[in-house]
A = this chain, B = another copy of it.
Amino acid sequence: MLFRAEITVKLKDGMLDPEATTITKALKHLGFECRSLKQASVFELEFEADSRQNATEVAQGMCQRLLANPIIHDYSVVLE
């Protein structure tokens, strides 16, 4: 069966995020004042799996082995 997953990868709370800091500063220079800014990457994937359970495991495997660094990232998998 073909499954569609949305995987969100973001920095764990408390991790320094220099990219977000830079974007916040750049927005300020353009006149947009932000109280806070967090960034995340979202991957929309389609892949074959035997069952919904198996599809979740496959997607989590992708996160653990490539898409996320478990030391600094939190990730979530949503199957459609």
A34 touches B45 (CB 8 A): yes
Query: Does A27 touch B at the CB level, under 8 Å?
Result: yes
- Copy number in the complex reads 2
* Interface members, chain A 33-50 (any B CB < 8 Å): 33-48
Size bracket, chain A contacts:
20 to 34
* Interface members, chain A 13-55 (any B CB < 8 Å): 23, 26-27, 30, 32-48
Name A residues whose Cβ lies closer than 8 Å to a Cβ of B.
Answer: 2, 8, 23, 26-27, 30, 32-48, 58, 61-62, 65-67
Q: How far is the CB of A59 from chain B (nearest CB, A)?
A: 9
The listed residue (B30, B42, B45, B61) touching A66 by CB distance below 8 A is B30
